[in-house]
Amino acid sequence: MRFIYLDIDSLRPDHMSCYGYDRRTTPNIDRIAARGARFNSCYTASSPCVPSRASFMSGRFGINHGALTHWGPGGEFQYPEGDGHSEDIPFFTRYLRKAGYKTVTFSSFGDRHHAWWYFAGWNELHTHTLKEGNENADEVNAAVIPWLKRHGAEEDYFLHLQYWDPHTFYTYPIEYMEQWKDALVKAYPDEATIAAQQTQSFPRSASFLHWGDTFPQTMPENIRNRDDFKHVIDGYDGGINYMDKAVGELLDTLRELGIEDEVTFIISADHAESMGEQGIYIEHASATEAVHHIPLIIAGPGIADPGRDVNGFVYNVDVIATITDLVGLPVPSGWDGKSFLPALKNEAWQGRDYLVMDHALYVCQRAVRDDNWYFIRTYHPGLYTHFEDVILYDMANDPNQTRNVAADYPDVVKEMDHRLSQWLHEQTRKPGYRVDPMQKVIETGPFKYLKADDWVRRLEQKGWNAEADRLRCRYSQEALKPAY
């Protein structure tokens, strides 16, 4: 079998035309989806980038692979000590390669995040630039297309391609944003919501959209009104469409080789992106629906009833378990993922009853998601102090997660909290369990890219002294001293 895995950074499914978005952002991916299965409820178990891709490589939840943040305490990838590799929890890429597949990646992820474990098991690893993830799709394709022309017609390979374009900053040609100038923009957040967000002072809030003072033309300075919101959405959608153009070039190459219909495509993301939810824009900073709900499209030979939707909860770790099952390999006992191959065959199948997810880069949170409710427990808010300790969203009546109804539904909170506790107990009983990396991050605080004193100084520079004082009072370490 020939596999091409499109790993698209920061991609929301509801901004893809094949998922019903009213802008035609992904015409080439739509073509792939039309001959495959489109999953409506796929979620990344751990966000953002490093935890998610560590799960892709290891088949495990973040609590088990250890890399729950980007570096430092709580970010150490855990693997059996000593020489040699584990047979129970093998790296996904080594497992496929050992079975005779050529494993190839075009990605600068390992370089960007200093991730030694990402380099395990590939026959070929192409970083194509030294831009550490800041390259555009055309730069990726400049390396990928020649490889496909040389090797695409070969048998039994797993080709992983990473596109970064939906991730900030949006550095593609400006016309890809300008094409949306007359297009409508989705209703949420409305003017009243944006007006209320003007008092918020955390990173990537409406008034503090950028960490620094420089930003590209594809992004507004701040989100002051719906016009600014349209600007940021146009910029994001431009990145998606520019990436999709590169996907079209891949399809053209496969067609020239005569194998377009013989390749199994898997299209997904490491995480998605907040676009106003919880007051956060263009960022993946929490264990919320906007960040954790990701696209998943699987298309190729043997996919029954092509062009259909698949409902039922799945994790990203279930995806690699399913690929493993597709090639006839047993799913390793040490992986947390479960195969959903019956769903691809349109056989009787049921997704997971609920999901448990976590984030520990900007906040320390764990969430539980089922058909009706989204529950979040915040252990440490970091700079996002507006997050309450216990949050419950009614997803049927409040899909944008605007109102915490925990006080109205204590029985639901109790049940969701029990599910979270039960899940934690299940993880601690697994062979080789060491320590919950979330606890390490709670101890040191989720302050990686921005420390509390950095943000206090920025608030003071912008004249938000009362907010700076409140943050200084909350995190009154010795390092937090007034700048005046």
Between CA 147 and CA 357 the distance in angstroms is 36
Indicate the SS3 state at residue 262. helix
Q: Supply 29's token pair.
A: 């991916």
Q: Which of 42-51, 212-221, 353-362, 374-383 has the lowest mean pLDDT?
A: 212-221
Give start and end residues of each alpha helix (H) in 79-225.
92-98, 109-113, 137-151, 175-178, 191-196
CA-closest candidate to residue 109, choices 161, 170, 42 = 161
Between CA 111 and CA 103 the distance in angstroms is 18
The mean pLDDT value for 245-250 works out to 98
Query: Residue 478 — pLDDT band, cuts 50, 70, 90?
Result: very low
Chain centroid to Cα 167, Å, comes to 10
Segment 305-344, tens digit of pLDDT: 999 999 999 999 999 999 999 999 999 999 999 999 999 9
Confidence check: pLDDT of 352 > 70: yes
pLDDT score of 480: 45
Contacts of residue 170, defined as CB under 8 A and 6 or more positions apart, other chains included, come to 177, 216, 218, 219, 235, 236, 238, 239
pLDDT score of 417: 98
Q: Would you kindly state where each structural domain of the chain is located, as residue ranges?
A: 2-350, 451-484
pLDDT score of 128: 84
The Cα angle at residue 292 between residues 227 and 105, in degrees rounded to 5: 105
Greater model confidence, 201 or 476: 201
Give start and end residues of each alpha helix (H) in 338-405.
341-344
Between CA 205 and CA 25 the distance in angstroms is 25
pLDDT score of 483: 43
The mean pLDDT value for 256-267 works out to 97
Confidence check: pLDDT of 32 > 70: yes
pLDDT score of 477: 57
Contacts of residue 296, defined as CB under 8 A and 6 or more positions apart, other chains included, come to 38, 39, 42, 266, 267, 268, 314, 319
- Burial status of residue 93 (CB atoms within 10 A of its CB: 0-12, 13-18, 19 or more): buried
Confidence check: pLDDT of 427 > 90: yes
Segment 77-119, tens digit of pLDDT: 998 877 788 989 999 999 999 999 999 999 999 899 899 899 9
Instruction: Match 């998922």 to its residue by tokens.
Output: 19
Confidence check: pLDDT of 388 > 60: yes
CATH class of 2-350: alpha beta
Mean pLDDT of the chain: 95
The upper half-sphere exposure of residue 73, i.e. CA atoms within 13 Å in the direction of its Cβ, equals: 13
Residues pairing with 364 in the sheet:
380
pLDDT score of 482: 47
